[in-house]
Structure formats: structure tokens, C-alpha cells
Amino acid sequence: MLLAIDTSAGTSVAVVDREGGVLSESTTVDTMRHAEVIGGMIRDALAQASVTPGELSGVAAGMGPGPFTGLRVGIAAAKAFALGIGRPVVPIVSHDAVALERYAWGHIGPLLVVTDARRRELYWSTYGGVDELGIPLRTGGPGLSKPDELPEAARRAAGHASALAELPRYDATSVSAGQLGLLAEWLYAARRPFAEDRPLYLRSPDVTPSSGPKRVTA
Amino acid sequence: MSASRPRALEGIRRATADDLDAIMAIETSVFVTDAWSRELMQAELTAPHSFYLVVERDGAVVAYSGLRAAPSVEDADIQTIAVAPHARRLGLGRALMHQMIAEARGRGARHVFLEVRADNPSAQQLYDSLGFERLGVRPHYYQPDDVDAVVMRLTLQPVPPTVEPQPPVEPLPPVEETPTVERSAPVEPLPPVELVETAPSNGGFRQAQPAVPAVGSAQPAARSTQPAAASARPGAVAAPLVLGIETSCDETGVGIVRGTQLLANVIASSMDEHARYGGVVPEVAARAHLEALEPAITEAVARAGIRLDEIDAVAVTSGPGLAGALMVGVGAAKALAVALDKPLYGVNHLVGHVGADLLDADGGPGRDIELPTIALLVSGGHTSLLHVRSLTDDVELLGETIDDAAGEAFDKVARVLGLPYPGGPQIDRVAADGDPAAIRFPRGLTLPKDMAKHRYDFSFSGLKTSVARWVERREDAGEPVPVADVAASFREAVADVLLRKAIAACVDRDVPRLLLGGGVVANARVRQLAQERADAAGIQLRIPALSLCTDNGAMIAALAAQRISAGFGPSGLDFGADSTLPVTDIQV
């Protein structure tokens, strides 16, 4: 049983079980209040699932891609919670959870998952389909592009044979922690690797090194 | 109607000393293992702020209850309630509760507290139905049975209900209430503390050390009769074990204290990463917090020699500071609190700097801060002058910088002089060989008109520009820049203004104590001048150890521990990071 947290878009918290599926899940698309809601949502997810922290075997964390300020809140919470219960963090690429949901809902074949990166840019990942276990196969990304450069960048990354064909695109406004947690359970069960334990900001900090002091006299 | 049997209840009345025999008969039959002594009960009945009721039925006392509510004190306590076995299921307990709540309201109480045995669900249901909420669990409260107590609180509306007067006894159908065993030791009420947010069977507030005895008790016999209960009164947690998280700027701080004793103070700084930018870059700092926090917590717990699940509470800086940086700590602290099922205290960073003085950097027992005190907090992000009357609930902001923080000015002037970041230690180093009187740099906001309007405010932007202008003039003239003299003169200007205003505040407010905090206190000249000026003015100067002056989690834990010991409840889980949190908000 896992607690799953994703703050790469809004905030989503879930408790999942490999056998029982998603035991509880709540999601808000508000992208301005990650720090405010995270604690109450974790508490409520556990209460709704009637699960105590000690019963969990780990914490799945959505590592992004996502705008940095909010993304960090969820990862920090996942790591601290895991520390509190003495269990590991399972890092997952947030887009993979979106893809898992799309395929679960019946999508077949290649897929482009897109989320808002703010500053008029988009995060994207491409998928070729699912494997025999239903786990999405990411073929490109996660990447960051301006909207008008996205189709080409994504197709190039996907290395899709029919590069001219339109890649079915799904713009997600939220990432389901339930799907994130299920993916973590399945990856673990199939002994597949998790994502790297590294937040996927895909951007450098907004700063340039100092070029020395500016003159104050003309 | 006329056919119905008249209720056998005679009604409820105030207890008198004559009821003692009847009350003790019930007392010893209901509270078999932990009955109060006759002397104690007698004292309770006649204590100044006691309000005891008895229920008579067929001429005999069959139930009684006691309330302790001092006039114009906000918290009232239900002391005891007992119904004789043969008179149960008649709603007597509920009727008594209504009467006592009404009395508490009439005496001006805002809250009514009680403790109930964890193994008495029917009594708990009664209190639930009366609107009491569960605050937490006191493990092993009832001795010798070794049963936990559930602490409950009813919040009274300020305006009494106007619907209908409470009948002496509610004509309720028999319910499965057995409110016989809820009670607390009859000691003088202390401010109650909200212990934990929920009442887990194994959770609650672990008493780190024997609690402080209740003060001013009118019943000295109470403690000898009810030692376990007396030491577990709400608010009596003497030295809570608190883990504090601080991420307001570029230092990831995790500290652990037991009351005022420092157990661990782990600081991971991202200062080196900011060096090439010449100042703290918020995004760089926030990313570093995320990487450093988990290892810092792990190390702090190891150094403190505790287990994480032993802590009594989690504390975190909720502001002021860099929003994105604060959020990392807030998110982590909330999750940790939920994972451990411990209360969370979101506290003020600046007041935390004052709280640093509670601690001994070498892990000694710590100390009380003598109050009131003026506090001068100077760092790269703040320059603030506070009047602290109570660390836990009365802090006033006298003034602060209206532009750059003092530490920021050090960084900027260091750049002008070609010195690396951070500027404070660099300026301190080169100034050692300089003449502080070589150049008369301006003292911001010290002109008479400024001292009227901005008496306790600071400004360092003009000083920084003035230094740059002076240096540029020299360079433009092709003359060498006397770096040591510039640094010493600049440093003198900063120290002079800081102390001039701080001492003025001490004098104006008639407060003969000054406390320094913040990273700039590491500056040797600031410390030296502070000592000179304080000595000259007969002011007692306090400077915490430097490891506690810079941003750290221990001071946050220490402040939260004070709030806990003073009886303040936790912050809940809904607060956010507040980059401009005022000092008057000691806890969010």
C-alpha cells in the first residue's frame, strides 16, 4: 500500500493498493496553494482509505515535469512523510501517470502528453503504447518547448516512423496521484526501474551570474 | 398525561458541605480504585471557584458534578461527574452537564475542558453530543488502572443562547450514557494545551520529563491524592521534544530541542551556490532546500540520539522569508507531522531569532530570556527592531529597514570593493586594518526629521550608493582605493546606525536589555560596538552563540516548545508560507 503525491500541476494525493486499486484520492487543480493544502489532503486521503501511516510500504512521488515552486512542495512532502514512516520514496515521472490513465481509458497507440509549464511554454512526453502489463512506454521526453515548436520536437523525440502523421495529443490539467501510485505499484511488482530521484524542473534557475558591480555615477 | 407516573427526580441543586457524606458514598462506589479522599472532596466543595451540583432523587443524592471556573478566566474545567449505578440511564449526566456548561458560560468562560477515560465510549458519546471536540490523548492518565485520558473541549459562543432557559432536568428518554468516570484532579486550572489533533489510541503527547507542578493551587492535598492526574494537567508539558525546520532563506536548518535544551542543530547552507550571483537567488535556494532537507532531518535525529517518533511536535518557519524556499519546509513539515501523527506548529522566523537565546549551543539546560527586552535582528534578509514583552504572545515591531537589509548592504559593498560573496566576513576581514574614521559615510535615517518619523527604521540603500560613489570617484581620478579604510568606515556606519537606534529603543521604552540576533551579529565590530554602547547606557546585552544567531531550525523548535509549554495549541494543517508574516503573528 502506497501514499501517492503529485504537485506537478495542481495537488493530488491518493492511497493505493496493488490488490485494491485506488483506495482514496483527492485532487485540486489550484496551482497556487500547494503548500496550504498538502497536509490536509494527506491526512484526509489516509482517513478516507482508513489507513494509518504505519500500514504504508512507501510513498510514490510525482517528480514532474512541473513548474518548480509547486513541484517541490509535493516532493518535499513525499520525502518527509517517507522519512517519518521509515519507508522508501518511489519516484515516478508525472506524465507517465497521465499516460497510464489515457491508456486505461481506451487510448491505443502513440500518444503525446502535454502539461502547462507556464511562461508560455509546455512540458511534453511521447508514448508509443503500452507493454504487456499495461505500463506506458515513454518514447520521448519529458521535454520543454514553446507551443509552436512542440509538434516537431515531440515527433522528433518519438522517432515515430510516420513522422508526418498527427500524434494524438492530450493536454492534462491535473495529474492523478491514484494513477501515479498504481504505476508505482506495478513497476515495483514487475521489477521495473523507477524514475530518477531528481525533480524534473527542465529549466535552470532564472538568474545570470553577476557581471560585476554597476556604476552608480554617470 | 395525568396517568403518566411523575418523574422521580427531585431536581438539581448546588451542593453544600452537608452533602459530603452522600457524595463520598457515591465517590467510593463509582471510583473504586482512584476515589478522592474525603478531605480533598471537602476542599473541592468549598473552594472559591468551585461549582458543585447534586441530583436528589427520592430524597437521596444520586449524582453529583463539579466545575472549576474562575470569574473572567476563559477556561473552565469539568472536575468530576458521577452518577450512582442505580440512577443511570435517566439522563442525569446530561442534565448536570447542561447546568455546568450554563454556569461556565455565566462566569464568562469561553472554553470548557474535561478529561474522560479512553475506555468509556458512552461517556465520550455524551460529550460529543454536547458539542465537545477531542483535542488529544493523555497516555496513562488514570492510575492505578493505567488508562489513557481523552482531552475534550467545548467552545462556548460569546452570546448565551436565547432560545429557552435550560430546564433543571431534561426530560430525555433513557440513553446509554454512563458518565461516571470522567474527572480530573482538582488542581488550579492551567492554560490547557491542545495536545494532538486527533485522538489515536496510541498517540498523544509524550511527556518528555515530569511536568511542572501546577502553581497557585488552593488544594495542596490534590497532588498527593492524585499524583498521576496532577502531573498530567493540560498545559503542564514542561519540556516538549520538538523538531524544528527552517528554510526561509539560504540555510536549510533542522534543530531538535527538549524545552530549552539543544539536542541537535544541523545547518546545510547553499551559500556557495549563490556566490557567483553575488546574492541569494531564491530559486537556487529553494532547490537546495529540497535536496538538503531529508539528509538534515536524518542527521539531526541521529545527533540528538532520539527516534523520530519520539518527538512531541513538529515546528516550521511559516514566514517571513522567501516564499518558494519557505514552501519546501512547510510542505515537508506538514507531511512529517501527519506521518508521525504529531501536532504541527508554524512559527515566525524573526521571533525564532529571539528564541535562539533560550538555548545553550553546547547542549546545556538553556535559560529563560529576561523580559521585556529589545531585540535587534540583523541578517541578509532582515533588519528589525523588536520590543519583546513575552516570547510566546507579545512581540511588537518597532521598526525595520525601509530598503536593503544590513547584510545585503555588506554584500553589495563587498562587490564594489571587489571582494567575494558573502560580503560580511570579507568586509570584516579587510576592515581590521582600516581606519573607521577615515571616511564619514552617511548614517541613514538619523537626521532629526528622520528620527521623528523613522525613529526605529533603518535605511542602507543610500549608504551603499554613497560608498560606490566614493570608490568610483577615486577610480576615475586614477587613485588607488584604500579598501581597508573604506571597509572599516562603511562597517562603522552600519554598526553605528544599528546600535544608535537599538539603544534609543531601550532608553525610550525603559527596557534595560538588548538581545542581538541574525547572521550580521557574526560581524566583530557590530558585536564590539554593541557591548560598548550597552555598557555605557547601563543596558544588559545578550548575544546567542553564532551558530544560533544565523538561521537555524533549533530556534524554531525552541520557540514552538515555549508556545507548547505556555498552552498554545497547534497550527493545524492549512497554513501556507507567508513571505511577509508580521512579528505579531508569533504562530500561525
| Residue B126 and residue B63 share a domain | yes
Mean pLDDT, residues A48-77 taken together? 97
User: What pLDDT is attached to residue B406?
Assistant: 96
pTM of the model: 0.72
**What is the least distance, in Å, from the CA of B562 to any CA of chain A?**
24
- Identity at A190, one-letter amino acid code: A
Chain A residues within 8 A of B344 when measuring between CB atoms: 39
Question: Does A47 have pLDDT greater than 60?
Answer: yes
Give the pLDDT band (50/70/90) at residue B76.
confident
Q: Do residues A93 and A123 touch, judged by C-beta distance below 8 A?
A: no
| A54 at B interface, C-beta within 8 A | no
Question: Does B32 have pLDDT greater than 90?
Answer: no
**What is the least distance, in Å, from the CA of A51 to any CA of chain B?**
11
Q: Taking the mean position of all CA atoms in its chain, how far away is CA A115?
A: 10
Q: Do residues B254 and B211 touch, judged by C-beta distance below 8 A?
A: no
When CB atoms are compared, the residue of B339, B468, B476 closest to A85 is B339
| Residue B199 and residue B153 share a domain | no
Lowest mean pLDDT among A111-120, B199-208, B477-486, B555-564: B199-208
Chain B residues within 8 A of A39 when measuring between CB atoms: 331, 334-335, 337-338, 344, 573-574
Q: Determine how many CB atoms are found less than 10 A away from the CB of residue B87.
A: 19
Q: Do residues B539 and B509 touch, judged by C-beta distance below 8 A?
A: no
Whether B370 maps to a domain, the answer reads: no
| Residue B156 and residue B58 share a domain | yes
Whether B559 maps to a domain, the answer reads: no
Q: Do residues B114 and B78 touch, judged by C-beta distance below 8 A?
A: yes
Chain A residues within 8 A of B277 when measuring between CB atoms: 207-210
- The reply to whether residue A213 touches residue B415, judged by beta carbons under 8 angstroms, is yes
User: What pLDDT is attached to residue A36?
Assistant: 97
- The reply to whether residue A79 touches residue B293, judged by beta carbons under 8 angstroms, is yes
Number of domains in chain B: 3
- The reply to whether residue B573 touches residue A40, judged by beta carbons under 8 angstroms, is yes
User: What pLDDT is attached to residue B561?
Assistant: 98
**What is the least distance, in Å, from the CA of A106 to any CA of chain B?**
35
> Per-residue DSSP letters for B39-71?
HHHHHHHHSTTEEEEEEEETTEEEEEEEEE--T
Chain B residues within 8 A of A68 when measuring between CB atoms: 283, 286-287, 324
- The reply to whether residue A84 touches residue B339, judged by beta carbons under 8 angstroms, is yes
| Residue B337 and residue B433 share a domain | no
**What is the least distance, in Å, from the CA of A208 to any CA of chain B?**
7
Q: Do residues B524 and B440 touch, judged by C-beta distance below 8 A?
A: no
| A76 at B interface, C-beta within 8 A | yes
Percent of chain A with pLDDT over 70: 96
Chain A residues within 8 A of B469 when measuring between CB atoms: 216-217
User: What pLDDT is attached to residue A120?
Assistant: 94
In this predicted model, which residue has the larger pLDDT, B161 or A4? A4
Rg (CA), chain B: 30
In this predicted model, which residue has the larger pLDDT, B109 or B397? B397
User: What pLDDT is attached to residue A161?
Assistant: 52
Mutation for testing the B interface, residue in A32, A36, A211 having most B CBs under 10 Å: A36
- Average pLDDT of the residues of chain B: 84
Give the pLDDT band (50/70/90) at residue B505.
very high
Quick: pLDDT tens for B53-68.
998 877 788 889 998 8
Helix (H) or strand (E) run with residue B274 in it: helix B271-275
Quick: pLDDT tens for A182-200.
999 999 999 999 999 999 9
- The reply to whether residue A35 touches residue B340, judged by beta carbons under 8 angstroms, is no
Q: Which residues pair with B243 in a beta bridge?
A: B256, B314
- The reply to whether residue A205 touches residue B283, judged by beta carbons under 8 angstroms, is yes
CA distances from A143 to A116, B2, B293, B447 (A): 12, 85, 27, 57
| A212 at B interface, C-beta within 8 A | yes
When CB atoms are compared, the residue of B415, B469, B576 closest to A36 is B576
Quote the cell numbers at residue A209: 551570474
Helix (H) or strand (E) run with residue A204 in it: none
Whether B480 maps to a domain, the answer reads: yes
User: What pLDDT is attached to residue B237?
Assistant: 61
| Residue B539 and residue B426 share a domain | yes
- Average pLDDT of the residues of chain A: 93
Question: Does B164 have pLDDT greater than 60?
Answer: no
3-state helix, strand, coil in chain B (%, to 5): 40, 20, 40
- The reply to whether residue B294 touches residue A210, judged by beta carbons under 8 angstroms, is no
In chain A, residues 77-116 whose CB comes closer than 8 Å to chain B: 77-86
When CB atoms are compared, the residue of B277, B309, B576 closest to A207 is B277
Helix (H) or strand (E) run with residue A133 in it: none
Mean pLDDT, residues B527-541 taken together? 97
Whether B354 maps to a domain, the answer reads: no
| Residue B200 and residue B157 share a domain | no
Residue A110 half-sphere exposure toward CB, CA atoms < 13 A: 18
User: What pLDDT is attached to residue B317?
Assistant: 98
Question: Does B226 have pLDDT greater than 50?
Answer: no
- The reply to whether residue B339 touches residue A217, judged by beta carbons under 8 angstroms, is no
Whether B375 maps to a domain, the answer reads: no
Question: Does B71 have pLDDT greater than 80?
Answer: no
**What is the least distance, in Å, from the CA of B335 to any CA of chain A?**
5
Chain B residues within 8 A of A212 when measuring between CB atoms: 415
Q: Which residues pair with B138 in a beta bridge?
A: B149
- The reply to whether residue B336 touches residue A84, judged by beta carbons under 8 angstroms, is yes
* Sign of the torsion formed by the C-alpha atoms of B293, B294, B299 and B305: positive
Mutation for testing the B interface, residue in A79, A198, A203 having most B CBs under 10 Å: A79
| Residue B199 and residue B327 share a domain | yes
User: What pLDDT is attached to residue B221?
Assistant: 26
Residue labelled with grid coordinates 497550527: B571
Whether B36 maps to a domain, the answer reads: yes
A-chain residue closest to B577, CA distance: A35
User: What pLDDT is attached to residue B227?
Assistant: 28
Angle at A98 between CA A148 and CA A163, to 5 degrees: 45
Interface A:B, Cβ pairs < 8 A: 142
| A206 at B interface, C-beta within 8 A | yes
| Residue B331 and residue B198 share a domain | yes
B-chain residue closest to A74, CA distance: B331
Q: Where are the alpha helices (DSSP H) in chain A?
A: 34-49, 68-85, 94-104, 150-158, 177-189
- The reply to whether residue A72 touches residue B344, judged by beta carbons under 8 angstroms, is no
Helix (H) or strand (E) run with residue A59 in it: strand A58-62
| A127 at B interface, C-beta within 8 A | no
Chain A residues within 8 A of B575 when measuring between CB atoms: 36
Mean pLDDT, residues B172-178 taken together? 40
Whether B360 maps to a domain, the answer reads: no
Q: Do residues A157 and A1 touch, judged by C-beta distance below 8 A?
A: no
Percent of chain B with pLDDT over 70: 84
| Residue B252 and residue B125 share a domain | no
Give the pLDDT band (50/70/90) at residue A160.
low
| Residue B194 and residue B94 share a domain | no
Residue B304, domain CATH: 3.30.420.40
Residue B172, domain CATH: 3.40.630.30
User: What pLDDT is attached to residue B160?
Assistant: 41
Task: Give the 3-state secondary structure of residue A151.
Answer: helix
Alpha carbons B347 and B554: distance in angstroms, whole number:
12
B-chain residue closest to A75, CA distance: B290
**What is the least distance, in Å, from the CA of B420 to any CA of chain A?**
11
Chain A residues within 8 A of B284 when measuring between CB atoms: 205, 207
Give the pLDDT band (50/70/90) at residue B124.
confident
| Residue B340 and residue B435 share a domain | no
**What is the least distance, in Å, from the CA of A29 to any CA of chain B?**
17
A-chain residue closest to B344, CA distance: A39
Expressed as residue numbers, the domain containing B58 is 9-183
Chain B residues within 8 A of A209 when measuring between CB atoms: 276-277
Whether B361 maps to a domain, the answer reads: no
| Residue B202 and residue B150 share a domain | no
